[in-house]
Amino acid sequence: MRSTSPRGCLRGFAVGFLVAASAYDVVIHVGFGHSLWPPTAVLLAGLAAVLWPADRRPRWLTPQLRTAVPAAASLLFTTGVLLAGRTEVPFGPGEVLILLSLLFIAVRHCPSPWALSCGVLDAVALLLLPVRYLRSPLEDALPSVVIGLVLAGLVAGLAGYLRSLDYRRTVAVVDTRRAERVAIAADLHDFVAHHVTGILVQTQMARMMAARQPQDLDPVLAGIERAATEALASMRRTVGVLRDTGPEAPDRRPVGDLAGIADLVDGFASPGQKSVLHRDPAVSDDLPHEVQAAAFRVVQEALTNVRRHAADAAEVTVRLARTGDRLEVTVADDGHGGTQLPEAAHGGGFGLVGLTERVTALGGDLRAGPRAGAGWQVTATFPAGGG
């Protein structure tokens, strides 16, 4: 048996009550001996504007049209009653509720240039309803006008508050998406910079070997091909994420993990340069994903900097260790700062700044500096959680 949600029951009750109140308006008009068609036309226009399902609503039926037309019809009806000099033309709860609903729609959903004008039109139509029935001096209509002002103020205030919440929610979503896109762009920069820097280094090596050791060129060219392929794959993944960054989009950012660190280290080695990974058996693969991703980025940035600033390093060592409840990631080289990369390939020094922010956000610490003797070392520690 199908269950009905409380919200659906409440909506059905509200629709039924509005239709019943409108039918009562028609009945009291007939009871007073007045024509049936003017009030019926006003009520039908209002019911259509309020109750038309959103998924079946045509494009031309905009919020401003929905709220202005029934209110204008109500004002025309009131004006016709006054011009005809008729008395005791009643108004009922149906038209009052419809005009209040239209006021709510105008304030909450109409575009900014139209919200005020449509809201005022609905409020004026509501406040002039007693004029149809009360043809005595203004004092007799004053209580009805005061009640109308209170109702209109409450409805408009609620709609305005909800509109402000909608605006703040929209701004928050836009800011979140912008921040996500900036983070994705930073990831793309780091991944591509890592691979392209490797391509530059290996290309320089290939040029030197072409004259002296042409028979050993194949492994170097294979490394260039692999780095270019990985750079293109990173760009494809990132573009795919940028095309689908809505709230329901899966998390497919190319951030890496501990298993990816081994691939980084293996792919870093080149002729004349050794790269070694030492992983403590206590470092398991069930660490929090954000910790694994940050560790991967630390290793990636450190290896990229070795290529940029210490191409003469003979050995690069990466260590993953578990000390109590903290993960320690260390990347050390024995280079002397020799590099022949073009100046444009050296980077702007923003990689370590971004890494420091990422590590600090996780409650960790990042240190970078020269080693005793020769070389450079980058060390990052993270809370490892319960993994």
What does the pLDDT look like over 28-50, one tens digit per residue? 877 777 777 888 888 999 999 99
Q: Return the CATH number at 269.
A: 3.30.565.10
Higher pLDDT, 39 or 203: 39
What pLDDT does 201 receive? 64
pTM given for the model:
0.53
Q: What is the pLDDT of residues 142-172, one digit of tens each?
A: 777 788 889 999 999 999 999 998 888 888 7
* Rounded Cα–Cα distance for residues 51 and 353 (Å): 56
What pLDDT does 54 receive? 82
Calculate ∠ Cα 170-172-175, nearest 5°: 110
Calculate ∠ Cα 132-135-137, nearest 5°: 130
3-state secondary structure of 36: coil
Q: CB–CB of 181/246 below 8 Å? A: no
Q: Is the pLDDT of residue 185 over 90?
A: no
What pLDDT does 289 receive? 80
- Please state the rounded mean pLDDT for residues 12-29: 86
* Rounded Cα–Cα distance for residues 62 and 42 (Å): 18
Domain range for 281 = 256-387
Q: Hey, which of 160-164, 288-292, 352-356 has the most confident mean pLDDT?
A: 160-164
- Please state the rounded mean pLDDT for residues 112-129: 90
Domain boundary among 135, 151, 170: 135
- Please state the rounded mean pLDDT for residues 193-215: 67
Confidence of residue 113 (pLDDT cuts 50, 70, 90): confident
Domain membership flag for residue 251? no
Q: Is the pLDDT of residue 89 over 90?
A: no
Domain membership flag for residue 104? yes
Q: Which DSSP string do the residues of 198-218 spell out, in sequence order?
A: HHHHHHHHHHHHHHH-GGGHH
Confidence of residue 370 (pLDDT cuts 50, 70, 90): confident
Confidence of residue 297 (pLDDT cuts 50, 70, 90): confident
Domain membership flag for residue 141? no
Q: Report the number of distinct structural domains present in the chain.
A: 2
Q: What is the pLDDT of residues 228-264, one digit of tens each?
A: 776 676 666 666 656 554 444 444 444 578 888 888 8
Higher pLDDT, 290 or 235: 290
What's the residue count for the chain? 387
What pLDDT does 102 receive? 93
Higher pLDDT, 114 or 207: 114
What pLDDT does 1 receive? 42
Which ranges of 245-349 does DSSP label H, i.e. alpha helix? 258-268, 289-309
Domain membership flag for residue 350? yes
Confidence of residue 216 (pLDDT cuts 50, 70, 90): low
Domain membership flag for residue 207? no
Q: Is the pLDDT of residue 207 over 70?
A: no
Q: Hey, which of 147-151, 218-222, 307-311 has the most confident mean pLDDT?
A: 147-151
E-only strand ranges, the chain: 274-279, 315-323, 326-333, 365-370, 376-383
Domain boundary among 87, 104, 135: 135
What pLDDT does 68 receive? 93
Domain membership flag for residue 2? no
Domain membership flag for residue 284? yes
What pLDDT does 123 receive? 92
Q: Is the pLDDT of residue 208 over 60?
A: yes
Q: Is the pLDDT of residue 345 over 50?
A: no
What pLDDT does 97 receive? 92
Domain boundary among 105, 135, 165: 135
What pLDDT does 387 receive? 45
What pLDDT does 252 receive? 46
Contact residues for 266 (Cβ-Cβ < 8 A; gap 6+): 275, 277
Domain membership flag for residue 217? no
